[in-house]
Amino acid sequence: MRAKRGPLNLPILTGVIFLHAGALLAPFTFNWPAFWVFLVLWWMTNGLGITLCYHRLLCHRSFQCPKILEYFFAVCGALTSQGGPISWASTHRCHHANSDTDEDPHSPVHGFWWSHMFWFMHQLPEVGTKEFAIRYAPDLYKDRFYRLLDRYEWILQWVLGLFLLWWGGLSFVIWGIFLRTVVALHCTWLVNSAGHRWGYQTFKTGEYSRNLWWVGLLAFGEGWHNNHHAFQSSAAHGLKWWEFDITYLTIKLLSRLGLAWDIRMPSAQAIQAKS
């Protein structure tokens, strides 16, 4: 599989344009309740759903938690319009297996904007197929709940949108669906683009991954991307005291509550060996 430009995926392209157009209405519909809805849902869907669950829990199994909590976090992730857990995890694992090469689905060798968002709007060979999912995420594909979530994740946004419309009117929909989803998409995409272009490398990983502080803040700790590529199964991406990683702090809080265990971290010897 080569990650080069295929034909445009018109349904996804239309959806992305629709979301961005709706997000432009945010300044005209601002009120404080809508802002707080945006902030809470952004944290739940992008912070807990994508960063904590899709990425650190499902993709890399950097910790364990009760299955019912895992499913709840996965539903939160499905509310970002980034695909279901199987498609997200299989694409991400393919990225790690072929990082910054032609086989990487969002390789920066095809340009910044390709790695940031254009890859998401094109049909890539094999990506999204059953064979691709079984190859890169066989553990998740065996789970019937995840197969259902992959197939019907788009319905969840409509259900949430109708609830927000009933609860707070148009402003809640604009801020809680359109703006929140656009912000979540770009925060995730920045890890693929800016996180492979700017910043510093603590570890020699053989590709372009970088540690970038402002992506770390926007993406709930994901911006310490070179650290992550060096230690993919680590629950913490920020490995120095000043590399702030709110998702790792969340995992530690879950551990204190008895809701997370088997938290994986690189040893001091492993860190020193790769430095």
Residue 209 in this model has a pLDDT that exceeds 60: yes
DSSP 83: -
Cβ neighbours of residue 259 under 8 Å, at least 6 residues apart? 65, 66, 69
Q: What is the pLDDT of residue 169?
A: 98
**pLDDT average, residue stretch 7-24:** 95
Residue 254 in this model has a pLDDT that exceeds 60: yes
Q: What is the pLDDT of residue 203?
A: 95
Q: To 10 degrees, what angle do helices 180-192 and 32-42 make?
A: 40
How far is residue 93 from each of residues 60, 67, 90, 153, 177, measured CA to CA in Å?
9, 21, 5, 20, 28
Q: What is the pLDDT of residue 127?
A: 84
- Tokens representing 167 are 């609860």
The share of the chain scoring above pLDDT 90, in percent, equals: 89
Name the residue type at position 55.
Answer: H
How far is residue 164 from each of residues 77, 174, 175, 180, measured CA to CA in Å?
18, 9, 10, 13
How confident is the prediction for the chain on average, in pLDDT? 95
* Long-range contact pairs involving 238-243 (C-beta distance under 8 Å, separation at least 24): 239/202, 239/266, 239/271, 240/202, 243/211, 243/213, 243/216
Weakest mean pLDDT among 125-129, 166-170, 267-271: 125-129
Q: What is the pLDDT of residue 4?
A: 57
**pLDDT average, residue stretch 19-40:** 98
CA dist., res. 36 & res. 38, Å (int): 5
Residue 167 in this model has a pLDDT that exceeds 50: yes
Residue 1 in this model has a pLDDT that exceeds 80: no
- Tokens representing 158 are 């409509």
How far is residue 221 from each of residues 83, 145, 212, measured CA to CA in Å?
21, 28, 10
Question: Cα–Cα–Cα angle for 16, 22, 24, nearest 5°?
Answer: 105
The share of the chain scoring above pLDDT 70, in percent, equals: 98
Q: What is the pLDDT of residue 5?
A: 64
- Taking only the tens place, the pLDDT of each residue in 81-126 is 999 999 999 999 999 999 999 889 998 988 999 999 999 998 887 7
DSSP 232: T
Q: What is the pLDDT of residue 124?
A: 82
Domain borders along the chain are 10-274
CA dist., res. 106 & res. 85, Å (int): 18
- Taking only the tens place, the pLDDT of each residue in 38-81 is 999 999 999 999 999 999 999 999 999 999 999 999 999 999 99
CA dist., res. 172 & res. 162, Å (int): 10
Q: What is the pLDDT of residue 125?
A: 76
